[in-house]
């Protein structure tokens, strides 16, 4: 992290750092592992009839049978996804301390809807459930600015004053440190459906991901294009 904090944008006239100075939507995402009960529909052979899953804000992502982008474009989201992904974790605890007694996570295909040109801030907080780990989080569709990072639990009263809003590094992947947090900001100016997920393949397969829907803008070049006429069908 000491090395990572030294990485800055050039923030010059030729290469400006267009980090959002104001934020329209604030999100606090806990990331990490958890457990889920085995059932007839979700058979498994884990300890105490449970299995290990990974989750963002206690939601372990389930990949739908219909493509999210297809369902969104044709307004056929029913039975494919819902738009009630939680802005904050369902309950607070000492995220980097002793884990809570209840480590169960929910499963579902939940998304966040953003109007066009929304400025977004996301705090990604690691958790110590089962074990604290570093999570390289990747955002599709946008670059974001890494405006802050630290160890322990994010402090909403003290830590934002330390954010770098002048020349933070611009990227599409950043590591959530083991037992720590990062703060990122981006401008949602690319209509579509975009995944945000851990880049450890095993964690992604366990559900450590979510997705954003960005709605169309008013101008023609601010709208999601239709699929090509020769798009192959699965």
Residue 158 CB partners (closer than 8 Å, separation 6+):
none
Q: How far is CA 102 from CA 54, 70, 93, in A?
A: 14, 36, 11
How many other C-beta atoms lie within 10 A of the C-beta of residue 193?
Answer: 20
**Bridge partners for 8 per DSSP:** 168
- Per-residue pLDDT of the chain in tens (234 residues, 90 and over written 9): 889 889 999 999 999 999 999 999 999 999 999 998 887 777 776 777 888 899 999 999 999 999 999 999 999 999 999 999 999 999 999 999 988 888 899 999 999 999 999 999 999 999 998 877 899 999 999 999 999 999 999 999 999 999 999 999 999 999 999 999 999 999 999 999 999 999 999 999 999 999 999 999 999 999 999 998 898 876
Location of structure tokens 């954003």: 212
Domains of the chain, start order: 23-216 (2.60.40.420)
How many other C-beta atoms lie within 10 A of the C-beta of residue 111?
Answer: 23
Q: What is the pTM of this model?
A: 0.93
What confidence score (pLDDT) does residue 234 get? 66
Q: Strand 180-188 to strand 144-151: parallel, antiparallel, or no bridges (unpaired)? A: antiparallel
* 119-133 confidence digits (pLDDT tens): 999 999 999 988 778
- H helices present in the chain, as ranges: 68-73, 201-205
Location of structure tokens 């974790």: 89
φ, ψ for residue 33 (rounded to 5)? Answer: -100, 170
The whole-angstrom separation of Cα 68 and Cα 79 is 11
Q: What share of the chain is helix, strand, coil (3-state, %, to 5)?
A: 10, 35, 55
């Amino acid at each position: 992290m000491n090395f990572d904090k030294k990485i800055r944008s050039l923030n010059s006239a030729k290469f400006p750092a267009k980090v959002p100075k104001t934020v329209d939507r604030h999100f606090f995402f806990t990331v990490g592992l958890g457990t889920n009960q085995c059932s007839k529909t979700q058979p498994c052979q884990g300890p105490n009839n449970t299995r290990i899953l990974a989750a963002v804000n206690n939601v372990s992502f389930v990949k739908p049978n219909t493509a999210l982008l297809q369902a969104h474009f044709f307004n056929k989201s029913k039975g494919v996804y819902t738009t009630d992904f939680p802005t904050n974790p369902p309950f607070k605890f000492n995220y980097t301390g002793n884990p809570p007694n209840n480590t169960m996570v929910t499963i579902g295909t939940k998304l966040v809807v953003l109007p066009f040109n929304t400025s977004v801030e996301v705090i990604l907080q690691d958790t110590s459930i089962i074990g604290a780990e570093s999570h390289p989080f990747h955002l599709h569709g946008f670059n974001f600015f890494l405006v802050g990072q630290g160890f322990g639990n994010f402090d909403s009263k003290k830590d934002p004053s330390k954010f770098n809003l002048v020349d933070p590094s611009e990227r599409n992947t950043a590591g959530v440190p083991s037992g720590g947090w990062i703060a990122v900001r981006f401008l949602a100016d690319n209509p579509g459906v975009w995944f945000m997920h851990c880049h450890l393949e095993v964690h992604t397969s366990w559900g450590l991901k979510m997705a954003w829907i960005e709605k169309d803008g008013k101008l023609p070049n601010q709208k999601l294009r239709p699929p090509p006429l020769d798009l192959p069908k699965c």
